Amino acid sequence: QDPQMRQRCFELLEQSAQTSAAKLKFFRLAYGAAGGFGEQVSIDEPKAVIETLAADAKRVTLNWQIEAPAFSKPAVKVLLNLAHIALDALVRGGTLDIGAEERDDVTEIVVRAAGTKIAFDPQIGEALAGRLDPTELTGRTAPAHLLSLIAGRLGGNIQTHADAGTLVLGANLPHAQ
């Protein structure tokens, strides 16, 4: 019956609905049609999803270094998944820097997570590098394995570097000819 409590409940429900919608959009873009029928996806779509997920994660500052208005569907899938992996690694919050550019027929993506504690499963790194046996895949390593396959099909690769306070994930994705 308390109006303030009622208002707070509505705010929490709205926040929960926004987070659920962002997660649904993440899965659609990261694993599904990725923005419809065109070959390019506006950077606004993945950016909005990552911003909502980072806000939900709490204590994460998000920085963008992306000037291109759109990227190929494979690049968007890689960008979203690398950002999600890095966001998961920021268990105590921190900074998530995301950059991407088109250069010499290659899309270069860099995602950097920095915080007081980085929790990065080495098995995910092995899957990103294409070195994890497919029979050893789990729910946590399967998305990383998918990224390795996407990069490999394009003739590109994914690199990782992790230490106590930083995780850097990078991808070089040649454009399809």
* pLDDT of 8: 82
* pLDDT of 24: 79
- 53 within 8 A of 98, measured Cβ to Cβ: no
Q: Is the pLDDT of residue 35 over 60?
A: no
Helix axes 44-57, 3-31, angle to 10 degrees: 130
Q: For position 143, which CATH number holds?
A: 3.30.565.10
d(CA 43, CA 173): 16
pLDDT tens for residues 105-120? 999 999 999 999 999 9
> How far is CA 12 from its chain centroid?
25
Domains in the chain, number? 1
Range of the domain at 154: 3-174
pTM: 0.87
What percentage of the chain carries pLDDT values higher than 70? 95
